[in-house]
Structure 1
Amino acid sequence: MFVNLRRIRKCKCVLLMTTCMFLSMVMVCWEQLDSSALGHVKSYSYRYLVNRFTAINKTFTIPREQARRFSNFHYLLDHPDKCTGKDVLLLLFVKSSPENIERRNAIRSTWGNETFIQKALGVTVKVVFALGAPVTKKGEPVWSKRSEVGFQQELAHEDRLYGDLIQQDFLDSFHNLTLKLILQFHWMHRSCAHARFLMTADDDVFVHMPNLVSYLQRMSRRGVTDFWIGRVHKGSPPIRNKSSKYYVSPEMYPWLSYPDYTAGAGYVVSSDVADKIYQATLTMNASLHIDDVFMGICANAMGVSPQEHVYFSGEGKAPYHTCIYDRMMTSHSHVEDIHDLWKAATHPRVKQRTSGLIGRLYCTVAKLALLCKPYYVDTYPCKAALL
């Protein structure tokens, strides 16, 4: 009896300690739980049950004279004749920072090589890089300091060699990404409006150009309109954590959910959608610094909705595998490995190994193992394995 009482007391002590530890963890994590899980519940409820995005459109609409300050920047580097006299399938804007010359050179020698695309794929794709003014650690233009004037001169030299830099004099920073988005749509409207598609991508994104070109050719033959594809975010809530670079204040955006939008890492729109976005930017308040969300707001105002393409990556890196390369469109976070990935993904053996009944069955099994994980991976969804 005495032994049983001791065991009961011991069990109670263990249970009490476990409960205290659990409650402590809940208290520590409550703020994160409230801002993430609960935030998504509120956002999805707003998006699917309320969905009054018309109020967002009205709030962000401003007079043209005021909106002009977001686009009325001086061109430091420009090539207005780049598309003249050419049947352009795709205008591809790569968002790049001035200092990322190695990334730009890697793109020029791999998936962004216009000569390769023309000769091997038989279409004209124009690849240009969108840049702002170089920024010092103090947040000033580099040429405002005499000792750093050479930075812009280096960019001018790079542009003389390659002729593909489109640069305006706003400061190139994360909080000016929306200005860089506006630059792209305004430049297309002015200098390459006849291009059938526009793509915007980060400079650490890998684009499987043969797959993309083949897909866009099929879409072009169908005469698609209102075409906007990428990794779609639905019912995403604004981030209220002030320590996050994606923080948006309730004063700037008081609603519980953003309109649907595609991940800014890489997406494609048809020319008619590009023109609609251009028109929207003429009367939109672009103070919201998250460029892909601002794109969603502009598109929503013009009645355009994004379409999911399972082989457009979000923030994640696609698995390295032959069966993935066969269907890949984009993959994120590639810098040092871009040359090796380009060689592997475009090698003729990819189509050889993935074709035929055996190849398709093998790839289905392989992709199920690679993509259908029990935990969240922000790359291709599980359903991509069956397509």
Structure 2
Amino acid sequence: MAPSWLCDKSASPRCYRLGLWGLVTVGLLGLCYLLYHGDRLWPSVVPKLRTPPSPWAAPRLPPPRALPTPAPCVANASVRDVSGFDKLPGHVQDFMRYQHCRSFPALLSVPGKCGGPEGSPGIFLLLAIKSAPVNYERREAIRKTWGQERAFEGAFIRRLFLVGVAPSARDAKKLNRLLRLEQREHGDVLQWDFRDTFFNLTLKQVLFHAWLEERCPGVRFVFNGDDDIFVNTDNVVRFAMTTQGAREQHLMVGQLFVNHRPVRLQRSKYFVPTQLLASERYPPYCGGGGMLMSGFTARVISRESRNVELFPIDDVYLGMCLEKAGLLPASHAGIRTVGVGVPANADPFDPCYYRELLLVHRFVPYEMAVMWQAIHEPRLLCGKRVSIF
């Protein structure tokens, strides 16, 4: 029977039929609405019924927190009053104007490379390679050879390239796009917004050590070097394993330079005027081509660098930081930053030499590929093995 609000008792049968059809129509419309909008009414239920989540799916993380962008650093105009400033080369003048600048925004970063404070103790060796934006071929060769991210004899190896921005604005636009592509594929680029020049290599080191202290404080060992070297990473790991006790102790080994004097010749790449350093002696330091340090020493450098004025020669600057901490670098016979040093009648590209060494400076990309394959050739026959540990 139709409800009383549709037909009264004296109404005709036609009225009752109309009432019933009205109820049916309203019911069908309501059902269609529910079917069409069901996923909007119950969004937390419907997807679970359709596709159960995989137990291996990555958790949904909150969006990254935007970090404040450092204010542009202003040139120090007072350096014009320094005696002899006007006679110095332009690049030295620029360094002195901006010597106080240490804070630059990161353009590319990899905050999860080491797993942060919790995960970084599981990283045995971090390869921190100084590279210029234009050196794409070198980075690719390193990725495929000695810089592979892998586990070797139970030791986890990770890789980072440290770069700034190309000095030419025209080149910088193209090369920044290239670096973004590399980052998307490999996730191994740390780039800051400063001009990537020889005199700014120290700035690159300071920014890296600050990043390391925040993002990778527990790493056991850091190998720091240029992108034109050949590294027998297997030997680096084996040597570091023999010094396991150095994990929480000071260790820096490389090609040691003691009692070296600043270069006062203006036309030299390494020219340092007395306005930047009055002393006629550098502190002991390891050649910047490549050196191995413990995580402890890397943290010491980060701490001491806050109170050591920037100096244009990066490897000397690291020696200054160690000196301030009362520490000394050490020599390692297997690290050759000025050539392999073979006898005059010997082949300097003989893989038997490189099988015994940790590092040799000055390699082009194709040489890296050839030598990496050669020292891992199972049929490589060499004479008496020389211990480098």
Equivalent position to 2:134, from 76, 96, 99: 99
The within-5 A match list for 1:1-387 is: 69-84=100-115, 85=119, 87-114=122-149, 117-118=150-151, 120-136=152-168, 142=169, 149-220=173-244, 223=247, 225-286=249-310, 288-317=311-340, 319-335=348-364, 336-350=366-380, 353-354=381-382, 359-360=383-384
Greater relative contact order (Cα < 8 A, sep 6+): 1
Tell me which amino acid in the other structure corresponds to 2:129: V
**Distance in 1 of aligned mates of 2:259 and 2:99:** 30
One-letter identity of the residue aligned with 2:267 = S
Q: Percent identity?
A: 32
Compared with structure 1, are the counterparts of its residues 148 and 289 closer, same or farther at alpha carbon in structure 2 (3 Å cutoff)? closer
User: CA separation in 2, counterparts of 1:163 and 1:230?
Assistant: 28
Q: 1:126 to 1:273 in 2, by over 3 A?
A: same
Superposition deviation, residue 150 in structure 1: 3.2
Give, in whole Å, the separation in 1 of the partners of 2:184 and 2:208: 21
Q: What is the SS of the residue equivalent to 1:305?
A: coil
Q: Distance in 1 between matches of 2:221 and 2:228?
A: 21
C-alpha contact (below 8 Å) 1:132/1:168 kept by paired residues = yes
Whole-angstrom distance in 2 between the partners of 1:277 and 1:162: 28
Larger radius of gyration: 2
Contact 1:198 1:274 in 2 (8 A): yes
Q: Unaligned stretches of 5+ in structure 2?
A: 1-97, 342-347
**Uncovered stretches (5+) of structure 1, i.e. residues with no partner:** 1-66, 137-141, 365-383
Matched residues in 1 for 2:173 and 2:293: separation?
Answer: 37
Normalized per residue, the structure richer in helix is 1
- The structural deviation recorded for 1:241 is 0.5
In 1, Cα distance between the equivalents of 2:110 and 2:332? 32
Q: Give distance in 1, aligned partners of 2:210 and 2:191.
A: 12
Instruction: Give the 3-state SS of the residue equivalent to 1:149 in structure 2.
Output: helix
Conserved 8 A contact 1:276-1:302: yes
Q: CA 1:171–1:322 in structure 2 vs 1: closer, same or farther (change >3 Å)?
A: closer
Offset of residue 160 of structure 1: 0.6
Asked if structure 1 preserves the Cα contact closer than 8 Å seen for 2:125 and 2:156, the reply is yes
Which residue in the other structure is 1:372 paired with?
none
The alignment yields a C-alpha RMSD, in angstroms, of 2.3
**Corresponding letter in the other structure for 2:358:** M
What's the TM-score once normalised by structure 1's chain length? 0.69
**CA–CA separation in structure 2 for the residues paired with 1:148 and 1:207:** 29
Shift of 1:193: 0.8
Report how many aligned residue pairs link the two structures.
282
Shift of 1:346: 2.4
In structure 2, give the amino acid aligned to 1:150.
Answer: K
Question: What displacement does 1:323 show?
Answer: 3.6
Aligned counterparts of 1:103 and 1:91: Cα–Cα separation in 2: 18
* Secondary structure of 2:336's aligned partner: coil
Deviations along 1:114-136, one digit per CA (max 9) or x if unpaired, are 1xx32x54321111000001221
- The one-letter code matched in structure 1 to 2:376 is T
State TM-score, norm by structure 2.
0.68
Instruction: Evaluate the alpha carbon distance shift between residue 68 and residue 247 of structure 1 in structure 2; reply closer, same or farther with a 3 A threshold.
Output: closer
* Cα pair 1:234 1:261 within 8 Å, conserved: yes
